Amino acid sequence: MSKSLYIPEGYKSALTLRETQHAIKYIKDVFQQALSFALTLDRVSAPLIVRMGSGINDDLNGVERKVDFTIKEIGGCEAEVVQSLAKWKRMALYRYGYNAGEGIYTDMNAIRRDDDTDNTHSIFVDQWDWEKVITREQRNIDFLKETVRNVVKAVSFVKRKVSLRYPVIAGSVCEDVFFITTQELEDMYPDKTPKERERLITKEHKTVFIMQIGGLLASGQKHDGRAPDYDDWSLNGDIFVWDEVLDNALEISSMGIRVDENSLKTQLAEAGAEDRMQYDYHKMIANGTLPLTIGGGIGQSRLCMYLLEKAHIGEVQSSIWSDEMISKCAEHGITLL
């Protein structure tokens, strides 16, 4: 296994396999309705594949290899499986004619072949990707925080619904979000790694939004990587909840206000990626054609494992795991789908 597998002492799933399958569908049905209502979003269809070289695929940290192939029907056209839909969604809002205060969400399925796998990471990624048009006046921290609180309220609502249907699952979600920047977190725990900082602050506050991810900290290190051409690194962050089963912080969403013409230029320069300005997507941000937006992704399997109090993401999704991980999970009563 490329990352350590955590086995909770005395763990036993609260639900049977069949109950788990029913509960997964229930969570997905209820949560997408709650999210749509909370953020005023329409559901749309989204691509699994995009043309290679289009500039639309998410580059994540810039080093992950994409899954690619050629298409016989289109003369050997090269295509890629998406890694996320961060850029595609903004283009869709423009193409579909959405206005400020309106937005979209979609089911995003991706393959991230270079991800390390453990209790919460799989090479198969499924999430609700969402994006919403905003005004220039809304490009501020207060609006970002308000949106984060609305997302957390939707999660809390679904947790209550799940507990009513399955009383054996009785936990709750803390709706009092604690906000902190990556620099404040580094100042608080200068001798800790970013992951250790995330764990410590989330254990204390239960629901945390860690802000301003992507740029260099005072130490000269990054808290975490972010592509330079979708999130504004000064107006983004990750939502963490405290997972009692795993005794650890669990990231359930990465989100943020997207780059405008100024932050795009600055971040591309900082990342040494000015060559991306050749793509239509980047040109349309620079010339003001694309709308200003806020958006993010909410992990479907991550949310299901958290709400159903599971120990492994493989208990709520079908993926590929190493023989060693399959064997160790089976040995400790963790049934992977």
Record the pTM: 0.91
Helix then strand then coil, % of the chain, to nearest 5: 40, 25, 40
pLDDT of 2 reads 45
C-alpha 251/C-alpha 125 separation (Å) is 14
Q: Is 251 an annotated catalytic residue?
A: yes
Distance of CA 331 to the CA centre of its chain: 30
Q: Is 229 an annotated catalytic residue?
A: no
Which one of the listed residues 90, 112, 139, 258 is annotated catalytic?
A: 112
Q: What is the pLDDT of residues 237-283, one digit of tens each?
A: 999 999 999 999 999 999 999 999 999 999 999 999 999 999 889 99
Q: Are 184 and 210 in contact (CB under 8 A)?
A: no
C-alpha 65/C-alpha 261 separation (Å) is 28
Q: Has domain 17-331 been given CATH number 3.40.30.10?
A: no
Q: Is 112 an annotated catalytic residue?
A: yes
Which one of the listed residues 19, 224, 251, 261 is annotated catalytic?
A: 251
pLDDT of 1 reads 41
Q: Is 199 an annotated catalytic residue?
A: no
C-alpha 94/C-alpha 99 separation (Å) is 9
Which one of the listed residues 32, 84, 122, 127 is annotated catalytic?
A: 127
Q: Are 252 and 306 in contact (CB under 8 A)?
A: yes
pLDDT of 320 reads 86
pLDDT tens string, the chain, 337 residues long: the values are 445 788 888 889 899 999 999 999 999 999 999 999 999 999 999 888 887 777 667 666 666 777 777 887 787 788 888 877 888 899 999 999 999 999 999 998 888 877 778 888 888 889 999 999 999 999 999 999 999 999 999 999 999 999 999 999 988 899 999 999 999 999 999 999 999 999 999 999 999 999 999 999 999 999 998 889 989 999 999 999 999 999 999 999 999 999 999 999 999 999 999 999 998 899 999 999 999 999 999 999 999 999 999 999 999 998 888 888 888 888 888 888 8
**Buried-exposed string 76-115: b where 16+ CB fall within 10 A, e elsewhere:** eeebbbbbbbbbbbbbbbeeeebeeebbbbbbbebbbeeb
Which of 297, 334, 298, 333 lies closest to 316, judged by CA?
334
Q: Are 145 and 252 in contact (CB under 8 A)?
A: no
Coil, strand or helix at 124: strand
pLDDT of 62 reads 60
C-alpha 293/C-alpha 132 separation (Å) is 5
Q: Is 58 an annotated catalytic residue?
A: yes
pLDDT of 3 reads 57
Q: Is 33 an annotated catalytic residue?
A: no
What's the angle, vertex CA 13, arms to CA 19 and CA 328, rounded to 5? 125
C-alpha 236/C-alpha 24 separation (Å) is 29
Q: What is the pLDDT of residues 52-92, one digit of tens each?
A: 777 667 666 666 777 777 887 787 788 888 877 888 899 99
Which one of the listed residues 186, 238, 309, 315 is annotated catalytic?
A: 238
